[in-house]
A and B are shown apart, each in its own frame.
Chain A
Amino acid sequence: GAGVSQSPSNKVTEKGKDVELRCDPISGHTALYWYRQSLGQGLEFLIYFQGNSAPDKSGLPSDRFSAERTGGSVSTLTIQRTQQEDSAVYLCASSGRQGTQPQHFGDGTRLSIL
């Protein structure tokens, strides 16, 4: 498809396990963003990539969170030793260029930590 694709759409895991979330951006988009949406909260910025580099990691909530992007395309967000407060919807967006161009979102991964 032409849009941003995220997988899995749903993930249920036990506290303490590691999880990997995947994002496939719109073809040709150089900028990629990760956000987290918790119940009753606004979208919270986590990290962005321009190409394969991540100039701004300030939004990652703890050192259990990491992200990478390879080949200027697919990105993975990894959460190690998951905690119950990590339960949220993780959304990925891409845009043609970092900055003023609109970001286009995938439908997210709904993560539930038991």
Chain B
Amino acid sequence: EDQVTQSPEALRLQEGESSSLNCSYTVSGLRGLFWYRQDPGKGPEFLFTLYSAGEEKEKERLKATLTKKESFLHITAPKPEDSATYLCAGGGSQGNLIFGKGTKLSVKP
């Protein structure tokens, strides 16, 4: 069965304290590994797609990496505006996304 698991469920950081979010996946015929950011009351906002092991992508303070079993979202020197829920999803063979339950990140000033 296709499955995506994210850890930790919640993460509290001080401003400037770097950390990583984990996404483990088992998705048959994976068609991309996707990261989204979701703010309260809003739909998920697309961040990155990774297609092959070893691939990395960066955007501002965020860097996503991919191995054959896991993806990591590294947050460098976070700011309070980075507070959100970060969602990881595997692209399924039917074109749908299989989502994890997310990591809720809080960054305190």
Partners in one complex: yes
Could you tell me which A residues sit within 8 Å of B by CB distance? 4, 31, 33, 35, 40-45, 48, 50, 55-56, 58-59, 91, 93, 98-100, 102-108
Within 8 A of A (CB), among B1-60: 4, 31-32, 34, 36, 41-46, 49, 51
Besides the known contacts A42-B4, A45-B98, A102-B49, 9 further A-B residue pairs in the complex with CB atoms under 8 A apart = A42-B102, A55-B94, A93-B43, A100-B31, A100-B32, A102-B34, A104-B46, A105-B44, A107-B42
Interchain pairs with CB closer than 8 A, number: 65
User: Are A59 and B43 touching (Cβ within 8 A)?
Assistant: no
Whether B62 sits at the interface, judged by CB under 8 Å, is: no
**Shortest CB–CB separation between residue B38 and chain A, in angstroms?**
9
Query: Which B-chain residue is minimally distant from A55 (CB atoms)?
Result: B94
| A43: chain B residues within 8 A (beta carbon) | 44, 87, 89, 97, 99
User: Are B95 and A98 touching (Cβ within 8 A)?
Assistant: yes
| B98: chain A residues within 8 A (beta carbon) | 45
User: Are A59 and B44 touching (Cβ within 8 A)?
Assistant: no
What is the total number of residues of chain B having a CB less than 8 Å from a CB of chain A?
A: 26
User: Are B95 and A41 touching (Cβ within 8 A)?
Assistant: no
Partner of A102 from B4, B42, B46, B87 at Cβ < 8 Å: B46
Give Cα distance in the complex from A75 to B49, angstroms.
Answer: 26
Interface string of B57-68 (1 = CB under 8 A from A): 000000000000
| A107: chain B residues within 8 A (beta carbon) | 41-43
| B44: chain A residues within 8 A (beta carbon) | 43, 91, 105
